[in-house]
Amino acid sequence: MDDDAWGFHLFGANFESEEHAQRYIFEQWEAEPPATASDDEYSAWEERNPTWRLADDLEFHMDSDFVEYPGGIEGVLSQMRCPAERAQVIAKGSAFTHFIMIGSNPSAIWCDRRSLSDQVEPVTRLPESTATITYLGKYST
């Protein structure tokens, strides 16, 4: 494997539009309260923001810097070097119009929200399909 290769988890989905895809994939922020907002109003805003449907559905704490939206399958394939992995993605991905890539390094997905522990533990489970997205696997190149 090439040291510069980016390992990632791949998901497929069928969103009704690019806008819907981006609202699901990326963090969403309400408008910041005005400068005249009280400390309590500002704190409530901070507590509500951001919302992030992707992280909520997967039940992981994640770093948004490691989430990529390549659009269609060509965007995924352009980031892969291994012919066997490319062929696998082509076969699995034909049913989807949109794709999501999440880094597989420990900084990308750093805590399992399903854990009952009060301590941050290494993530031991792989991401799974949800009602919205389908897990297509972990890829190395």
Summarize pLDDT for 91-106 with one digit per residue, the tens.
999 999 999 999 998 8
Look at the pTM and tell me if it is higher than 0.75. Answer: yes
Domain extent at residue 19: 8-29+38-139
Do the domain assignments include residue 2?
Answer: no
Do the domain assignments include residue 1?
Answer: no
Take residue 32 and report the two structure tokens written for it.
Answer: 């910041």
Take residue 49 and report the two structure tokens written for it.
Answer: 């923001």
- Distance (Å, whole) CA 29 – CA 31: 6
pLDDT at 119: 64
pLDDT tens by residue, 57-100: 999 989 999 999 998 999 999 999 999 999 999 999 999 999 99
50 closest CA partner among 33, 28, 21: 28
Into how many domains does the chain fold?
Answer: 1
70 closest CA partner among 18, 29, 107: 18
Do the domain assignments include residue 122?
Answer: yes
